Structure 1
Amino acid sequence: MELLYKSTRSADKTVTASYAILKGLAEDGGLFVPTSFPKLDVSIDRLADMSYQEVAYEVMKLFLTDFTEEELKHCINSAYDQKFDTEVIAPLVKADDAYYLELFHGKTIAFKDMALSILPYLMTTAARKNNVKNEIVILTATSGDTGKAALTGFADVPGTKIIVFYPKDGVSPVQEKQMVTQKGDNTFVVGIHGNFDDAQTGVKKMFGCETLNRELNAAGYQFSSANSINIGRLVPQIVYYVYAYAALVHNGEIKNGDPINVDVPTGNFGNILAAYYAKNMGVPIAKLICASNTNKVLYDFFATGTYDRNREFHVTTSPSMDILISSNLERLIYQIAGQDAAKDNQLMKSLSETGVYGITPAMRENLKDFYGNYATEEETAKVIHDLYAKTGYVIDTHTAVAASVYKKYVTETHDTTPTVIASTASPFKFARSVMTAIKGDVSQYSEFELVDQLTAVSNVAEPAAVTEIRTAPVRHTTVCDKTEMEATVKKFLGIQ
């Protein structure tokens, strides 16, 4: 049965999965969502005996119904190969009282690899299916990890260019070095004077600018997105929650049908939304624990029903979560509003114009499966220290936010349901913050000296992604003001 997609902001048009992947963002500014949630048509017991690639096919075939079996399996097998440093792709590690789903074994050592390794294959296949003649320009804003993963995925892919904007002073040294050393004649990296929300807003504005899009088309280009607003990013993320549940069954940690909770460090809301979609497919996920850092706009939303981005922006040790406009939340809003596009449009208009919106009591009732909380900088560091001291297991700052919130959840609710924590980045990506948490003041050491120390304390080999950037030359030096993003894109594309 064909599954179609529609915009969260207008119910009158449906499109195929491949079209939605190509467009990235709907013409009306909304996000593409499936017209219904497909149900898993293979039993968990069968999934438990499958490889990651096989589980990926069983999940993704239900969402990407206009891809043939041959096309989809080619995309999956091309993505999840030797680029990952473990055959299981997404290992589950039990530490203390939770299961850490390690999503950082790809080429850029962050969870974004799980989706961005496959997106270029999905997109080039979608372009062929839709007879696209224009060159595709991937336009992306990053808070640190999406940028490098997207650059790596699209580097030198024929028929594409990729332009990544990041906050110049809002990412870790390793994250920045990974991006500015990126190879590929079709790659462009720009630091902006502003924060991630400024970068994301600028990108969305370019997507919605009819004049710019006409100019692009005349020059033989069209925009698409590698951000989690693209449904081609979201669908592959659903896979690892299905896989994690099946792995727990396979390992004898739970019985088929037993509930689990899922705890996700959350910024743009895409990763936890994928878990929500998995739940709606039939995976027995009980509670979705949404963990925020000091930029706790989502915690406040779940606590009050009001989303308010008008607040101080904090730069933290978990920079990929330093976000005040969580774009993927719109997909959840649409769902809890009963798929009411008019209501969603009204709320997003309010957010755009005033920075605030409030949901109805009926909509809040539909959020009962979610729990929100946040961790301070001190709490984040403490959980890294304490988990290492107790178990020898080292986690990064983003995963630590989730671990801290998990402890708060158990204390408040006394719920001891087996819990999967999404471990979203390698600690090597944030070596200074992690080593500070473990050892105290390490200001006298360089970034790579701290990497060496982390290798010693964690008993884990330095990832290839870090080794590569030790001596890699800087290739991208463009910096612009947040108001100059469109002009910068035009310059890269030779459009006057």
Structure 2
Amino acid sequence: MKFYSTNRSSPEMSFKEAVIQGLPQDKGLFFPEHIPALPSSFFEELPDMALPEIAFEVLKHFTAPDITPDALRAICKEVFTFPIPLVAVEEGIYALELFHGPTCAFKDVGARFMSRCLQAFAEPNKPVTVLVATSGDTGSAVANGFLGVANIEVVILYPKGGVSEIQEMQFTTLGQNITSVAVEGTFDDCQQLVKQAFSDEALNNEMRLSSANSINVARWLPQMVYYFHAWGQWRRQHPEKDAAGATFAVPSGNFGNLAAGVLARQMGLPVRHFIAATNRNKVVPAYLETGEYTPVPSVSTIANAMDVGSPNNFPRIQEMFGNNYGQLKQVLKGYWTDDAPIRSAIQEVKQQHDYLLDPHGAIAYLSLKQHLPVLKTDGIFLETAHPAKFKGSIDDILGSDIALPEQLQAFLNKPKQSGSIGNSYSEFAALLQEQHKLQSQP
């Protein structure tokens, strides 16, 4: 499989080349040269397939020939080691729980898969520096996925004061090959610094850079797997229903997760509709309403992992519909909400259904409540992170003291190791160059 740039001004690359480079030089996004259609037999067998098996059958089309079938099977077995259950919340509405991995967030899937790919591609004495901007869960998932991997250094940028305390502890207490840097600015500022680094020709001649944000194809593609898995579980529970009778509601910030779901649909997953569920950072819902796509500065909300004013991955969704607004709008529905309804939904769902939502899942749940009466399907919303990752907010909303799962307790009381820079590319470039000098010393 070859990958081209959505801006079409950079050469095509293999999977290996696209993963290592992360971002095309023309500042587009890598996209597969064609989208394979999965056979009907795959969907017939899907309800009874194990997660690693689903992953192998879906991803083999994109990773060949750079990763052999045997190597890919081994990677899938190593990555997909935790359950991703579909849980009934109320009649016709289900939560896909993506928080049972090592850092209690959906990004464990993509980060672990990418780390194993880069490890397979790593060359002795040629270290790769992985850059990642995070608004919360990406940092912890990437840091833990790459921790201790030889020949790979990770640099995480995050907005100072813009992530939850538990999220921050998960990527600032590790040390080893993980460097965390607080930026005086927003997530969009962090993301822009990473983009500038990739377009800095002199810096790229000096060191090998890669990205671990969802712009990287090895982070983005494996997220398809749990959409197939969710549909398989739903079909096993409801074989009597229309195979296309479920709508996915996806909490959306940088839109990599939703783009993966749409790609699964392009490969044959029988889903008619997706909902882009956002907080007050409503660039995409506004686009779906007006046809005008206008990124704006992000604003802070209770659902901080979705505080993105310029979603990096949305061009991939547009690419899948040939940039045809009418066709895109038939499949993708929009929804946004303020903080107050999020708080109310968390309270009400806990009281009425004894299910605890996190702020991001709450937005997706609310989007289903609005759209399902019109769409007339069942609804599956993605619970992208464990509610305890937002313990301060959840405790305040419920007047409770929710327990931390074991994965999160492990980060408590560890010393924080984090640097700090202003919102300045010159400062960031200097930091990377200094780190590269240290790596190069014998």
Does residue 428 of structure 2 align to residue 485 of structure 1? yes
Change (3 A) 1:228 1:12: closer
For residue 22 of structure 1, report the CA deviation from its aligned partner. 1.5
For residue 214 of structure 1, report the CA deviation from its aligned partner. 1.5
Change (3 A) 1:11 1:190: closer
Change (3 A) 1:12 1:196: closer
Q: Secondary structure at the match of 1:48?
A: helix
2:381 alignment partner in structure 1: 421
2:17 alignment partner in structure 1: 19
For residue 260 of structure 1, report the CA deviation from its aligned partner. 1.5
2:101 alignment partner in structure 1: 106
State the distance in 2 between where 1:292 and 1:375 align: 7
1:446 alignment partner in structure 2: none
* Deviation larger for 117-126 or 269-278: 117-126
2:250 alignment partner in structure 1: 264
Residues 262 and 419, structure 1, Cα contact 8 Å, conserved in 2: yes
Does residue 45 of structure 2 align to residue 28 of structure 1? no
* Deviation larger for 5-14 or 427-436: 5-14
State the distance in 2 between where 1:136 and 1:302 align: 39
Does residue 169 of structure 2 align to residue 147 of structure 1? no
Residues 93 and 99, structure 1, Cα contact 8 Å, conserved in 2: yes
Does residue 218 of structure 2 align to residue 232 of structure 1? yes
2:357 alignment partner in structure 1: 395
1:160 alignment partner in structure 2: 152
For residue 401 of structure 1, report the CA deviation from its aligned partner. 1.1
Q: Secondary structure at the match of 1:298?
A: helix
State the distance in 2 between where 1:481 and 1:162 align: 19
2:229 alignment partner in structure 1: 243
Q: How many residues were matched structurally?
A: 434
1:178 alignment partner in structure 2: 170
For residue 11 of structure 1, report the CA deviation from its aligned partner. 6.4
In structure 1, runs of 5+ residues without a counterpart are: 217-221, 339-361, 440-449, 456-461
Paired letter, 1:307: Y
Paired letter, 1:149: A
Paired letter, 2:27: G
Residues 45 and 256, structure 1, Cα contact 8 Å, conserved in 2: no
Q: Secondary structure at the match of 2:421?
A: strand
1:346 alignment partner in structure 2: none
Change (3 A) 1:369 1:126: same
Does residue 1 of structure 2 align to residue 8 of structure 1? no
Residues 60 and 72, structure 2, Cα contact 8 Å, conserved in 1: yes
Paired letter, 2:437: G
1:472 alignment partner in structure 2: 414
For residue 226 of structure 1, report the CA deviation from its aligned partner. 0.6
RMSD: 1.8
1:359 alignment partner in structure 2: none
1:328 alignment partner in structure 2: 313
Change (3 A) 1:258 1:370: closer
Q: Secondary structure at the match of 1:244?
A: helix
Output one character per residue of 1:249-286: Cα deviation in whole Å (capped at 9) or x when no partner: 12236547333211000000100111100110111111
Q: Secondary structure at the match of 1:306?
A: coil
Output one character per residue of 1:115-139: Cα deviation in whole Å (capped at 9) or x when no partner: 11221111222346xxx86211101
State the distance in 2 between where 1:423 and 1:310 align: 26
1:65 alignment partner in structure 2: 64
Residues 305 and 364, structure 1, Cα contact 8 Å, conserved in 2: no
Output one character per residue of 1:292-322: Cα deviation in whole Å (capped at 9) or x when no partner: 10111121111111122235x3211111000
2:88 alignment partner in structure 1: 94
Output one character per residue of 1:52-71: Cα deviation in whole Å (capped at 9) or x when no partner: 11111111112222121111
Paired letter, 1:318: A
Change (3 A) 1:383 1:188: same
Q: Percent identity?
A: 31
In structure 2, runs of 5+ residues without a counterpart are: none
State the distance in 2 between where 1:286 and 1:14 align: 31
State the distance in 2 between where 1:367 and 1:64 align: 30
* Deviation larger for 400-409 or 379-388: 400-409
- Matching residue within 326, 332, 337 for 1:370: 332
2:291 alignment partner in structure 1: 305
1:405-484 equivalences under 5 Å are 405-411=367-373, 413=374, 415-439=375-399, 453-455=401-403, 462-474=404-416, 476-483=417-424, 484=427
Paired letter, 2:182: G
Residues 372 and 379, structure 2, Cα contact 8 Å, conserved in 1: no
Change (3 A) 1:190 1:254: farther
* Deviation larger for 9-18 or 288-297: 9-18
Q: Secondary structure at the match of 1:38?
A: coil
Q: Secondary structure at the match of 2:181?
A: strand
Q: Secondary structure at the match of 1:308?
A: coil
1:49 alignment partner in structure 2: 48
2:300 alignment partner in structure 1: 315
Residues 302 and 372, structure 1, Cα contact 8 Å, conserved in 2: yes
State the distance in 2 between where 1:364 and 1:167 align: 36
State the distance in 2 between where 1:271 and 1:365 align: 20
Residues 299 and 307, structure 2, Cα contact 8 Å, conserved in 1: yes
1:352 alignment partner in structure 2: none
Change (3 A) 1:368 1:258: closer
Does residue 132 of structure 2 align to residue 136 of structure 1? no
Change (3 A) 1:253 1:196: farther
State the distance in 2 between where 1:113 and 1:79 align: 9
State the distance in 1 between where 2:356 and 2:328 align: 36
Q: Secondary structure at the match of 1:139?
A: strand
TM-score normalised by L of structure 2: 0.94
TM-score normalised by L of structure 1: 0.84
State the distance in 1 between where 2:325 and 2:244 align: 27
Q: Secondary structure at the match of 1:478?
A: strand
